[in-house]
A and B are shown apart, each in its own frame.
Chain A
Amino acid sequence: MSTATTTHDQEAFNLKEWIFTTDHKRIGVMYLIGSMAAFAVAGMMALMMRLEQANIGAQFIETGTDYNEWLYFHGAAMILAFLIPGLTGFAANYFLPLMIGAADVAFPRINAFSIWLFYFAIVLALLSVVVPDTPDIMWTGYPPYAVTTEGNTSFYVFTVHLLGFSSILGAVNFLVTVIYMRAPGMGWNQLNIFVWTTLAAFVLQLVFIPVLAAAVTLLLFDKYLGTHFFDPAAGGDVLLYQNLFWFYSHPAVYVIFLPAVGILFEIIATMAKNQIFNYKVCVYGGIGGVVAIGGEVWIHHLYVTGMPDWLRIGMMISTLLISVPVGLIVMSLWGTLWRAAISYNVAMMYSVAMLYLIMVGGLTGIPLAMTSLTVHLSETSFIHAHFHFIMGLFSTYAVFAAVYYWFPKMTGRMADNGWARISFWLNFIGINVTFWPLFIIGPQGMPRRYWNYEMFPQFEAYHEVATVGAFLTAAGVAIMIINWITSAISGPKAPANPWNSRSLEWTHAPNPPGPGNFPEAVTVADDWTPYDYNK
C-alpha cells in the first residue's frame, strides 16, 4: 500500500499531496472536480447555443462555424470529459473500494497515472477552445468533413487517445480490484448493484475503446498524413468510420447508463430501507443482458446511411430487444419500492426524478429503434431530446444524486438544506421546459444542430421556451455547486451513518475515511448483503 504519504483531511491542505496521491478517494474527488469543470464549460456552450437558437437568424454569431465549435465542445466534453469520468472516474473510484471493503484499488499508482492522463486530456480539450482553428466536427468526427474542415481535428483525436488510455487503465484496475480485493466472505451475490454496474461498464470500456482509438487514429492519418481510409475517391469508404465509431460509442452509452443505474439502486434501496427486488435477475438478466446485447445494435445509429435493408431490419429487432434487459432493471427498481419505508432527502428527490427520466428517455427510444420511423425522426430535435433525457439528464442526475448522497461520507458534513431543494426544483423544471418543446417539434421536421431555422418560422416560440428552460436549469445548477462548496467548508457536521445504510462504506468506515479506509479489516457473514434492512 502506498497510502503512507497521504494525510487525514483535518490536517492542512497540501496541493502536492493531492497531485501525487495514490489514494482512491482523493483521486475520486479530483475526477469530480475535473469533470465538473468540463461540465461547467460545456454547459455554458449549451447556454450560448440556446441563446443563438432562441430566435430565427444570427443572434450573436458571426458565422455558422462559431456555433459549430460550441456544438463540438458541448458534446465531446459532456460525454467524454464529464459523464464517463464523473461516473467511472469519480463515483467508481471513491465508492467502489469502500463498498467491497478494500483498502484501495489493486494498482494505486496506475490509478494515479489514470487521473494524470485525464487532467492532461481536460487541459488539451480546454486549449482547443482558445486556439484559432477550434475543432468543429461534433463529438462524432465524421469524415470526410472532419478531414476537409479547417478546424483542428487533431485536438479531438489526441483528447480521445488520452481519455481512452486513462479508461483502459482504469478498467483493468477495477476489474482486478473487484475480482481479488473483496472483503473476506463477500460472494458475488452480495455485491452492491453499483459494483456490478461499474464492473459491466469497465468490461465494455475494455472491449470497445480500442475500436474508437483505431477509428480516430485513421482519421488523424487521413487528415495529416495523406492516407485515404475514408476517402472514396482513392478507394476508401466514408461509412467505415461510422461503423467503427458507433461500434464503441453505442456501448459507451451503457458505460454511462449502467453506473448511473447503479447509483440509483444504492440510493433507492437505502432510502426505501428495502432489499433489491429480484437481485439476481437484475444483475445477470438486466445488467448482464445489456452488456451482451449492447454490442449488437450500433447500426441503429446508421439507419439512414444506405445500409442494406435486411441489416436495418435485423438491427431494428436487436435494438428493440434492449428493452428486455432494461425492462428487467426497471422492474427491480420499481419492485424495490414495494412495501418499502421511504424517507426523502435531496439525493432521493434526484432519484425519483431519475425514475421519470428513465421512463421518458427509455420509451422515446422505442420509436427511434424502429427503422421505418427513424427514416423521418433521424437528426431531428426529437432524437436530441430523447438522448438528453436518457443519457444526458439521467446520468447527470446520477452524478448530482451521488454527490448529495455520499456528501457526508466525503466531507463529514451535510449539504442537504433549503438551497439544495431550491436548486433541485429549478433545474428539474428547467430541463422539462427545455426538452419537451424539442420532443414536440422534432416529428414536425425541426432538424437538430441548426443555429438558424428560417425555413421553419412556426417553431420559433418553442425555441424561445426551450431557451428559458436552459437558463432555469443553469440557475439551479449554479446554486447547487455553490451549495456544495459552502457546505463542504461549513455545513453542519454529519452523523456517522446519516441515512442508516447497511452498505459497508457507511457501516464500517469513518466520515471521511482515512488512509486504508477501514480502521479494522472488514469481513462479512455468509448471509450479509448491503441491503438487509428487514432482519
Chain B
Amino acid sequence: MKLKRFFSVLNGAAMALLFATPAFAAAGDTPDTRADWDELWHEVLVDITVIGVIFIVAAIYMLIRFKATNPEQVGTATRLTTANAIGWALIPAAIFMADDFYLAAKGWTVWDHQRTVPENAMEVKVTGYQWYWEFEYEDGTTTDELKVPVGTPVVLRMTSDDVIHSFGLPYYRLTEDVMPGRITYIWFNPIEEVETLVTCREFCGNSHSEMFTAVEAIAPAEFEKWLAEQG
C-alpha cells in the first residue's frame, strides 16, 4: 500500500498545480501569441518528457530485473484484491485527468488570446488560389506578398477561390484553413521587424509545395510608403 500513498501525494501535487494557473500577459497590453505558444509548448514538452521518462525507465527496469532465470520459471504476481484493483484504476485515472485538466486550462488561456482580435487591429483580406496567395488591404490595394507595420496587430479575413488551402505562418505559430464559401480569421501581433513567410498547409494539388510567399513586418513609415507604391 506504500505505492498507493505515493500516488495520492502525486495526485495532490497535480491538483495544486492545476489551481495555480499563472497569469499571462499583463492586462491592457496586446498579447504576444507567439510567446504564449512557445511558453505553452515548452511546458507541455516538459510534462510529456517527465511522463515518458518515468514509464520508459520503469519498463527497462522490469524488463531486466524480471528476466527469467530458467525456462520453467513463472511470474509471481498475484491477483489484485478488489480494493487494490479499484485503487489502481482510480488513482492513475485521477492523475491522468488532473494532468489533462491542467493542460486544458493552460491551453484555453492561450486559445482566448489567439481568438480574441484586438480592437485596433488592421484588417487584411486573404484569398487562396491554386497556387498563390492574394492580399487585399483596407484601401483596396491588392498584393502578392504580405507586409505589415510593426506595432499594429493584424487580422486576416480569409477565403478561397477554388479548393481548400491553409494559411500557415510558422513564425507567428498560427495556421487556419482557407475554404471556399467560408470566411476564417487569424490575428497576429508583429512586435518586431522580421522577414518571414507563409506556406500552404492543406493539400491542394500539383503545386501545393510551392504555394508560399513573403510575410514581412516593417517599420510603419516604410509600410505606408510601400503600400502607396502598390496602388
Contact = CB atoms under 8 A, between A and B. Distances in A.
Contact of A367 (B41, B85, B163, B206): B41
Contact of A340 (B47, B77, B110): B77
Given A275-B77, A331-B88, A338 B62 contact: yes
A68 B89 contact: no
B147 interface: no
A534 B75 contact: yes
Q: Would you call the interface of chain B mostly helix, strand, loop, or mixed?
A: mixed
Interface in A266-300: 272-275, 277-278, 280-281, 285
A363 B52 CA distance: 7
A465 interface: no
A148 B100 contact: no
Interface residue range, chain B: 35 or more
Contact of B66 (A306, A312, A320, A342): A342
Given A306-B182, A321-B97, A324-B97, A68 B170 contact: no
Given A273-B68, A330-B55, A444-B170, A339 B75 contact: yes
Nearest to A144: B163
Nearest to A271: B68
A331 B173 CA distance: 35
B168 A372 contact: no
A145 B37 contact: no
A334 B55 contact: yes
B187 to A, nearest CB: 12
Interface in B69-92: 69, 71, 73-80, 85, 88-89, 92
B162 interface: yes
A375 interface: yes
Interface string B99-118: 11101100110110011000
Interface string A342-360: 1110000000100110011
Interface string B35-68: 0110011001101100110011011001100111
B122 interface: no
B92 A313 contact: no
B29 interface: no
A323 B63 CA distance: 24
Interface in A320-339: 320-321, 323-324, 327-328, 330-331, 334-339
A338 B104 contact: no
Given A342-B67, A379-B201, A445-B168, A273 B209 contact: no
B163 A145 contact: yes
Nearest to B79: A275
A327 B180 contact: no
Given A281-B89, A306-B179, A238 B164 contact: yes
B24 to A, nearest CB: 12
A534 B48 CA distance: 35
B51 A363 contact: yes
A534 B205 contact: no
Contacts of A330: 55
A244 to B, nearest CB: 15
Contact of A144 (B76, B99, B162): B162
A447 B182 CA distance: 23
Interface residue range, chain A: 35 or more
A448 to B, nearest CB: 8
Interface centre among A63, A136, A145, A312 (most CB of B within 10 A): A145
Nearest to B45: A367
Given A237-B181, A372-B114, A375-B174, A274 B75 contact: yes
Given A64-B208, A378-B175, A452-B209, A272 B66 contact: yes
Contacts of A371: 107, 111
A314 to B, nearest CB: 10
A340 B206 contact: no
B197 interface: yes
Contacts of A334: 55, 58-59, 62
B32 interface: no
A278 B80 contact: yes
B55 to A, nearest CB: 6
B93 A340 contact: no
B138 interface: no
A498 B85 CA distance: 32
18 contacts: A64-B209, A68-B203, A239-B182, A275-B75, A277-B77, A317-B101, A330-B55, A331-B92, A334-B59, A338-B77, A342-B62, A352-B59, A355-B56, A356-B56, A370-B104, A372-B114, A375-B114, A375-B186
Interface of B: 36-37, 40-41, 44-45, 47-48, 51-52, 55-56, 58-59, 62-63, 66-69, 71, 73-80, 85, 88-89, 92-93, 96-97, 99-101, 103-104, 107-108, 110-111, 114-115, 162-164, 166, 168, 170-171, 173-177, 179-186, 197, 199-210, 212
Given A281-B85, A375-B173, 19 more contacts: A64-B210, A145-B203, A274-B77, A278-B85, A316-B104, A323-B100, A324-B97, A324-B100, A336-B77, A337-B59, A340-B66, A363-B51, A372-B111, A376-B175, A378-B168, A380-B201, A443-B41, A444-B170, A449-B208
